[in-house]
Amino acid sequence: MRTICFPDYRHLSDFAADEIAIAIKNKPDLTLCMASGHTPALAAELLVKKLREEKIDYSRFTFFGLDEWVGLPPSNEGSCHYFFQQKIFTPLALKPSQYFLFNSLANDPESECVKMDKAIASKAGIDIMIVGIGMNGHIGFNEPGTPFTILSHMATLDEVTRSVGQKYFKQETSLNKGITIGLGHLMNARKVILMANGNKKAEVIKNAVEGLVTPSFPASIIQQHRNAVVLLDEEAASLLDNDLVTKF
């Protein structure tokens, strides 16, 4: 695992977008699994800009949405579906066959998990997985206590996720369950990029990068991945041992 610290959020987002754009250029049928949320928002915008401006062929790449709030329609502005539609699918005019998202309204969420696992397998796995970190150390909806080997699954959201998650919604929204690509997929991904910015993420980043590797703190799994990079701004990196951080 490498940890890189950037002067600010824009620089780290630009670096992440570059990594992905170059990867698609080198492998046009690349598979990308991406988180929604505040952290990757700018990277998503910059990725779209780079792909278009640099005329990179993205007609064969495949996108997997990391997770979704169960029960929220895609039209809800706080849904992951809405985020990806606005930030990536519409601006790039992706064909629906190019992206896979959980149907959060499905009567049988378990079958959605099976479908996602099959889709990932049918594309020979995930090349790049780009994720954020929650205030409880979750990745996607892999909440504290989730086994490191689990594939797609439905999760009961913990208290922190339910309350922090309100930030995505204009009005108080009942958040009880999530559906997510699992940590087993993360371990199998050929590259993992974990991003975090801001003072509020400093402590969770310290735990993830320097703390005990344990399912009680899911993001600590990053230490065990064979090809992971942690991209931080100075605030999120502020509690880390400087010797282990590369300055950009």
Q: Which residue has the tokens 């698609």?
A: 24
Q: Nearest-CA neighbor of 168 among 63, 240, 235, 82?
A: 82
Site string for ligand PGA, 68-97 (x = CB under 6 A): ------------------------------
Contact with ligand PGA (CB under 6 A) among 65, 109, 132, 178:
132
Q: Does 134 engage in binding with ligand PGA (CB under 6 A)?
A: yes
Dihedral sign, Cα of residue 55, residue 192, residue 196, residue 36: positive
171-189: b (≥16 Cβ within 10 Å) or e: eebebeebbbbbbbbbbeb
- Least distance (Å) between residue 87 CB and ligand PGA: 13
| Smallest separation, CB 14 to ligand PGA (Å) | 17
Q: Is there a catalytic annotation at residue 143?
A: yes
In one-letter notation, the amino acid at residue 205 is I
Q: CA 63 to CA 142: how far, in whole Å?
A: 19
Size of the site for ligand PGA (CB under 6 A): 6
Q: Phi/psi at 2 (nearest 5 deg)?
A: -110, 145
> Which residues 15-44 are close enough to bind ligand PGA by CB under 6 A?
37-39
Instruction: Tell me how far, at minimum, the Cβ of 116 lies from ligand PGA, in Å.
Output: 18
Q: Between 37 and 65, name the residue whose CB sits nearer to ligand PGA.
A: 37
First to last CA, the chain: 16
Q: Shortest Cβ distance from residue 209 to ligand PGA (Å)?
A: 16
Q: What are the residue numbers of the active site?
A: 67, 136, 138, 143
